[in-house]
A and B are shown apart, each in its own frame.
Chain A
């Protein structure tokens, strides 16, 4: 019974992906390909070649091509760069991959240092008992202590 439920759930999740592969839309393909001239996503490009690519995609969708087939045709014409949306992890582009992790690392170090400093500045808030003090919280100025003793003496019976 459980296996049946899992299989049903898998089918439910796979159905949209399958539909997208078999019957792709222009919007989907525009978001998954890029313009070879401006190198940005096709959906954001108004370059002449991008407009031509849209016409081509519409024609291929109308002809019944799957998403993979349309992408393969675009790769045959323009090379794999048109379906690679993320920058290649080499050379200067490596920065795009490394900088987020470097930023995360720097943020973690900064948070650690701040937490450490914060905990150190909080420590003196609980002073250690002072030896020689009546209540263990430190001694008063001699003059203040004298006046306090006088005042308390008035309440003595």
Chain B
């Protein structure tokens, strides 16, 4: 009788332990999804410039709309969208919109060569630790966010190149319009 109860207790304990571990794993996966930054206040980064000396913080851009693009020099789709982002920068820079490229998981030298080759003149920063990828919930490069004048993320983030399809291009224009809205 005692032996049977002991055995049952051990089995319940073992099953409980496995269930607890599975629950922990599920919780970790859910919290790591990174969707939190897809709306609400944009994480306030402050990163060293890639294209010049000094650093650039999101706080310093308050009052301006921001198109925030995460990229790396080894990312193939980033080559295609660089031209679109540059065009956006040239077109809207007089209307208080800033395009910022956040280079991460990359050698700075490679990133600078990439920027020169693809004619990127908009501000570029380097996320050495890759910490802002987690804070924004970036899953893969490229990924683009729209931030309004009050520092809030607006519209839908674009996962993949901003010129991937007609729908994505519309989503991109909508994001810019929302970011610029007074």
Interface residues of A (CB under 8 A from B): 36-37, 48-49, 52, 56, 76-79, 81, 92, 95, 110, 113, 117
Q: Are B6 and A113 in contact (CB under 8 A)?
A: yes
Q: Are B6 and A36 in contact (CB under 8 A)?
A: no
Please, how many angstroms separate the alpha-carbon atoms of A52 and B72 in the complex? 12
Q: Are B107 and A77 in contact (CB under 8 A)?
A: yes
| Residue B33, interface by CB 8 Å | no
B49 CB to closest chain A CB, in angstroms? Answer: 16
A93 CB to closest chain B CB, in angstroms? Answer: 10
Q: Are B6 and A78 in contact (CB under 8 A)?
A: no
Q: Are A36 and B105 in contact (CB under 8 A)?
A: yes
Q: Are A77 and B108 in contact (CB under 8 A)?
A: yes
30 contacts between A and B (CB under 8 A): A36-B130, A37-B105, A48-B74, A48-B75, A49-B72, A49-B74, A49-B105, A49-B106, A52-B74, A52-B107, A52-B110, A56-B107, A76-B128, A77-B106, A77-B107, A77-B128, A78-B105, A78-B128, A78-B130, A79-B128, A79-B129, A79-B130, A81-B129, A81-B130, A92-B28, A95-B24, A110-B10, A113-B6, A117-B3, A117-B6
Please, how many angstroms separate the alpha-carbon atoms of A36 and B107 in the complex? 11
B108 CB to closest chain A CB, in angstroms? Answer: 6
| Nearest-CB residue, chain B, relative to A92 | B28
Residues of B within 8 A of A79 (CB): 128-130
* B 115-141 binary contact with A (CB < 8 Å = 1; else 0): 000000000000011100000000000
From residue 30 to 55 of chain B, which have CB atoms closer than 8 A to chain A? none
- Interface size grouping (class) on chain B: 10 to 19
B140 CB to closest chain A CB, in angstroms? Answer: 9
Residues of A within 8 A of B28 (CB): 92
| Nearest-CB residue, chain A, relative to B111 | A77
| Nearest-CB residue, chain A, relative to B24 | A95
From residue 69 to 106 of chain B, which have CB atoms closer than 8 A to chain A? 72, 74-75, 105-106
Q: Sorted from nearest, which 8 A-B pairs have the closest CB atoms? A: A48-B74, A79-B129, A36-B105, A79-B128, A77-B107, A49-B105, A37-B105, A49-B74
Please, how many angstroms separate the alpha-carbon atoms of A76 and B47 in the complex? 14
Residues of B within 8 A of A95 (CB): 24
| Nearest-CB residue, chain B, relative to A102 | B17
Residues of B within 8 A of A49 (CB): 72, 74, 105-106
| Nearest-CB residue, chain A, relative to B32 | A92
Residues of A within 8 A of B74 (CB): 48-49, 52
| Nearest-CB residue, chain B, relative to A80 | B129
Residues of B within 8 A of A92 (CB): 24, 28
Residues of A within 8 A of B105 (CB): 36-37, 49, 78
| Nearest-CB residue, chain B, relative to A53 | B107
Residues of B within 8 A of A113 (CB): 6
Residues of B within 8 A of A56 (CB): 107
Residues of B within 8 A of A110 (CB): 10
Please, how many angstroms separate the alpha-carbon atoms of A37 and B140 in the complex? 9
Please, how many angstroms separate the alpha-carbon atoms of A40 and B137 in the complex? 19
| Nearest-CB residue, chain A, relative to B104 | A36
